[in-house]
Structure 1
Amino acid sequence: MEATVKKMRKAAAGGLGLIVMATVLAACGDAPDESGDSGSEASDFLPCIVSDAGGFDDKSFNQLSYEGVEQAAKELGSEFKAVESNSENDYAPNLDSLVAEGCDAIVTVGFALAAATKESATANPDIDYVLIDDSADGGDDGQTFDGKADVANIKPLLYDTAQAAFMAGYLAADYTKTGVVGTYGGQPYPTVTIFMDGFKQGVEYYAKEKKKDVKVVGWDGKNGSFTGGFEANETATNTARQLLDQDVDVILPVGGPIYQGALTAIEASGKDVAMIGADADVFETDPNTQDVVITSILKNMKVSTYEAIMAAGNDEFDFTPYVGTLENDGVGIAPFHNFESKVSPTVAAELDDIKAGIIDGSIKVTSYLAP
């Protein structure tokens, strides 16, 4: 019955979709990108994705999510549609445009799209929605989480990045020569501060275990340094510079492209500063980081998005929220890459022990997903 309803809706959308797209997208985000030449038997299942304002070339979570949809569409033998948002004003119109195009499953990337996703999902109960980085539960800030989305046809993809950030914090504390490490974020949303929380806890754990004095600046657990957005602009550079001026020699920017401000500040400082990436392995996604990035805190969004779309395309979709952890490889840290010879020869083994301790519960890491 559900499949029949979707086909009827898609047939209707075929006549209206182009008209709606022409009017709506002229005023909002970019027109849908269509792809999906897989060489396999064609499927009439249509997966779609809409970015937040960071765009699909953010070398971070929008890009990873896009790649997950792209891979699933290829394997399913279907086309897919992707629409970029240029600002928050684009979110609702872009979702409306994808509904009009006849999408069977829509991925919305980022907590900023939570309100628009809930509204669209409520109005279109026959479409499967995948909301990345927000629980769709008890508010649009992602802070309330009881294991079930407020709207029945939304599947949240969440990531307890505090666990991986704890490991990165431990590494930073071991690596620092000044005894001062720092972090800053785009905006103080839970999906940003969860990195900062874990990072701080990892530094403090190291200091306690090793009986060394290591200071964290930029986040005290409640307040910290934020750029006010997620753009690679002068504010991001100045925020990073303010941390470097406090003798920081390991820095963690959290918020998509804002890490580029840290790159600029590091180069201008002339200091030996290591950077920690967030979401993706920025060493791989952005070669400009390769001289300074010691590791990255990973959210395996490509795989979890791929798996969600594959399930939807095979009529096996489950709306139970997914929470990525160290145990299920939903989060992790990247290799040391060019810093392999610069880090302590014992720290890799120590991080393996810490990972095991976090998984078995002997090392506690708190976050909004694991109070």
Structure 2
Amino acid sequence: MTISTTKKFVGVVAAAGLLVALAGCGSAPEPTATEDGAAGGAVDGFKPCMVSDAGGFDDKSFNQLGFEGLEAASDELGVEFVTVQSDSESDFAPNITSLIDQNCTLIITVGFALASAAGEAAIANPDIEFVSIDDIVDNDFDGETDAENIKPIIFDTAQAAFLAGYASASFSTAKKVGTFGGMNFPTVSIFMDGLAQGVEYWNSEKSDTVEVLGWDRAAQDGVFTGGFAANQDAINAAQGLVDQGVDVLLPVGGPIYQSAASVIRDSGREIALLGVDADVFETDPTVADLLLTSIRKAIDVGVHEAVLAAGKGEFDATPFIGTLENEGVGLAPFHDFESKVSPDLQAELDTIKAGIIDGSIPVESYLAG
């Protein structure tokens, strides 16, 4: 990436104070549709545009969710939108420049990796509105978003991952839950750390000894592939955890879950897969039979609302932080695994969710402190 892992982590933590202060400011964005679902009355000249992170708009994950939110809002507003796909970090700045040159009035950057390029472009083009998914855009590390024309949409996914960790520990008969990520950035490791906290909570409540492999909470480090592609590196990471006997596996990083699924199928064992960002059961039926659940981020809803507001001349740069309380993050249904989990599990998860919301069950993350 264009920013080193350490520098990026420091920057995100520096911005966390601002985000925490705003986290309770409102409920989750809710889509609003016109009566006929189109011709929503956009301001003259409104042109929404989007830049993907690596992985593309068909990644069945965060890029795709962002695209779906843009598409839905544009349909309601009755406007045309423009998208450009990034295949590597070298595409980020040129892709944003290409959208500026096409007279885009709103530019959405999908993924924390685009924060540097987005911040520079927003400062240089104060008349263009920007929406940043998964990053506050604090490239000078002063605890504030770099420009007044940038709206961050970010998610405290540790809360939902905590629930997934508890569910995983409940499900695991091997007493080994595994996880690996693309790169060790806060927006990736927040899933892994939340998962580990949920397993720890299960152990404390049940006097159990379920292990988490692939993530070390004390070291804040673990197993990473070095990128976000479904490639041999992702296969190797998944295989290493499967060889250690895990029977639940959380891959974090767009399409790398596809590599994990192939390893699970080749293993001949019953190993449950956890999805991230979207409800992967819905977005990718090819792995539906493997999915225990998914840790959801309402990227599509956040983008949808931001585009509608901007399209109606009501752009608001106030950061939105998704939490369990405002339904910006959450746990997907168990779907085909409903009959395989404990009949008491959902009630326990509901109680834990309430405890996280009211603060009686603390969940650590770079957003919550």
What is the TM-score with the length of structure 2 in the denominator? 0.87
Match of 1:263 in 2: 261
1:145 CA drift (Å): 8.4
Instruction: Pick from 169, 174, 179 the counterpart of residue 175 of structure 2.
Output: 179
Instruction: Pick from 214, 220, 224 the counterpart of residue 218 of structure 1.
Output: 214
The amino acid that maps onto 2:113 is A
1:323 CA drift (Å): 0.4
Q: In structure 1, list runs of 5 or more residues that go unmatched.
A: 1-36
CA distance in 1, matches of 2:194, 2:146: 27
Does residue 310 of structure 1 match 2:308?
yes
Three-state SS of the structure 1 residue aligned to 2:357 is: helix
1:314 CA drift (Å): 1.2
Match of 1:79 in 2: 80
CA distance in 2, matches of 1:181, 1:68: 33
Match of 1:358 in 2: 356
Three-state SS of the structure 2 residue aligned to 1:158 is: strand
Residues 85, 94 of structure 1: 8 Å contact kept: yes
Residues 123, 146 of structure 2: 8 Å contact kept: no
Residues 44, 78 of structure 1: 8 Å contact kept: no
CA distance in 2, matches of 1:200, 1:101: 45
Three-state SS of the structure 1 residue aligned to 2:177 is: strand
Does residue 104 of structure 1 match 2:100?
no
CA distance in 1, matches of 2:331, 2:211: 22
Deviations 1:126-145 (A, max 9, x none): 01100100111255xxxx68
Match of 1:155 in 2: 151
1:341 CA drift (Å): 0.2
Does residue 332 of structure 1 match 2:333?
no
1:44 CA drift (Å): 2.7
Three-state SS of the structure 1 residue aligned to 2:349 is: helix
Deviations 1:200-253 (A, max 9, x none): 000000000010110000001211000000000011011001001111000000
The amino acid that maps onto 1:312 is A
1:328 CA drift (Å): 0.5
1:40 CA drift (Å): 6.1
Runs of 4+ in 1 over 4 A off after TM superposition: 37-43
CA RMSD of aligned residues (A): 1.4
Alignment of 1:1-371 (within 5 A): 38=38, 44-138=45-139, 146=143, 148-221=144-217, 222-371=220-369
Where relative contact order (Cα < 8 A, 6+ residues apart) is larger, the structure is 2
1:268 CA drift (Å): 1.0
CA distance in 2, matches of 1:230, 1:223: 17
The amino acid that maps onto 2:91 is D
The amino acid that maps onto 1:202 is G
The amino acid that maps onto 1:46 is K
The amino acid that maps onto 1:275 is L
1:87 CA drift (Å): 1.1
CA distance in 2, matches of 1:57, 1:112: 18
CA distance in 2, matches of 1:307, 1:65: 11
